[in-house]
Amino acid sequence: MRAVVFSRYGDESVLELTERPEPTPADGEILVEVKAAGVNPVDWKHREGAVRNDRPFPLGMGWDVAGVVRSTVPGGPAVGEAVYGMLPLPYGGAYQELCVVPASAVAPKPARLSYPEAAAVPLAALTAWQALEAAGAASGLRVLVHAGAGGVGHFAVQFARHLGAHVTATASAPNLAFLRGLGVHEPVDRATADLAAGEPFDIVLDTVGGPVQHASWQLLRLGGTLITLPEPVDESYRRPGVTARRVIVTPDGEALRRIGALIDSQAVHVEVQSVLPLHQAAEAQRTSQDGGVRGKLVLAL
């Protein structure tokens, strides 16, 4: 089968499209014929060596998958069923024609979505879902999402809005209209806004890290919650009376069923900036690493 792998850590030039043996499912796993694979920042972080595992080179790439079940397990999806899901971290393997994934990590593909659109959902949507759940997002709370037009961000603003929260989100100026279209109450230009001058937030979701995390502490009311995604909590900035924790996404097929229902009901929109063929995986990762992607990038097989 065709697969994108890498045999040493480095920039996108280490990626190679090659022929690999077909994977064999272990207990509890299904075999999926991959129709499309999502591209996430964790992909190129894995390629650079920031996210590592204990398997020998060459290593596979990618965690988001949408495709067709080719072999299954008792109680799992039917052979021939269209599914989408997330492979467990830290082992990649979605940038290839066949992949194995735990049966519990997949759900039926939303009927409204193409395979590339479905592949854009799992990791980013689950990250947003689990982050808001950890923060206790609920109706009437004031929620701030940093980088609201990005992969995780554009799901987070919609989930928070669906829960009844008052949603503020930052983005570049060209993406403010996009945020309004997603139902964001207060789209904010990240380059010019002074968020500290406004009413404090109950929840801040930091999808950026670094200075954004550091500044977020002062945007929360006492009793508020900061959720950080790309990096651990920087304890040197901790503010008494504010709860802070890092959320690392985990596969969850049942949550994907619920997310899929929201998508099929048109309560949630999936934004795909571009779909590239598998042999352009390096270009896709370079674009992701350069930043500024609206929604998601996807590889089609």
Assigned domain for 254 exists: no
Please name every residue paired with 36 in a beta bridge, in sequence order, or none if there are none: 66, 300
Share of the chain above pLDDT 70, in %: 100
Nearest C-alpha neighbor of 124 from the set 18, 38, 12: 38
Helix 122-135 with 151-162: angle, nearest 10 deg: 50
Please say whether the dihedral angle defined by the alpha carbons of residues 183, 184, 188 and 190, taken in this order, is positive or negative. negative
pLDDT range class, residue 53, cuts 50, 70, 90: confident
Instruction: Give a yes or no: residue 257 inside a domain.
Output: no
Residues 75, 181: one domain? no
What value does the mean pLDDT take over residues 123-148?
Answer: 98
Residue 113 phi, psi dihedral angles, 5° rounding: -100, 145
**Cβ-based neighbour number of residue 208 at 10 Å:** 21
Q: Are residues 81 and 105 in the same domain?
A: yes
Distance (Å, whole) CA 124 – CA 90: 15
- The tens digit of pLDDT for each residue in 13-33 reads 999 999 999 999 999 999 999
Alpha-carbon distance values, 151 to 27, 130, 192 (Å): 32, 14, 22
| CA–CA dist 33, 298 (Å, integer) | 16
Is 170 a member of any domain? Answer: yes
> What's the pLDDT score for residue 54?
87
| Residue 157, pLDDT score | 98
Residue pair 168/149 in contact (Cβ under 8 Å)? The answer is: no
Arithmetic mean of pLDDT, 183-212: 96
Query: 220 and 291, same structural domain?
Result: no
| Rounded-to-5 percentages of helix, strand, coil across the chain | 30, 30, 40
Task: With respect to residue 264, please indicate whether it lies within any of the assigned structural domains.
Answer: no
Predicted pLDDT of residue 21: 97
Amino acid at 65: V
Show the domain range for 11: 2-121+270-300
- What is the C-alpha separation between 259 and 122, in angstroms, rounded? 9
203 and 229 both lie in a single domain: yes
Domain assignment present for 259: no
Q: Are residues 45 and 75 in the same domain?
A: yes
Is 9 contained in some domain? yes
The pLDDT of residue 193 is: 84
CATH number of the CATH domain containing 93: 3.90.180.10
pLDDT of residue 91: 86
Q: Residues 163-185: pLDDT tens digits? A: 999 999 999 999 999 999 999 99
The token pair that represents 6 in the structure block: 């890498």
Taking only the tens place, the pLDDT of each residue in 235-259 is: 999 999 999 999 999 999 999 999 9
Q: Please check whether residue 89 lies inside any domain of the structure.
A: yes
Q: How far is CA 154 from the centre of its chain?
A: 10
**Spatial separation of the C-alpha atoms in residues 271 and 268, rounded to whole Å:** 10
Domain co-membership, 82 together with 100: yes
Residue 147 clears pLDDT 90, i.e. is over it: yes
**Residue 178: CATH number of its domain:** 3.40.50.720
What's the pLDDT at 167? 98
Residues 144 and 130 in one domain: yes
Q: Is residue 255 part of a domain?
A: no
Whether residue 111 is found in the same domain as residue 135: no
How many distinct structural domains can be found in the chain? 2
Rounded to an integer, the average pLDDT of 20-49 is 97
Residue 51: pLDDT above 90? no
Same domain for 137 and 239, yes or no, is yes
pLDDT at 60: 96
Q: What percent of the chain has pLDDT over 90?
A: 96
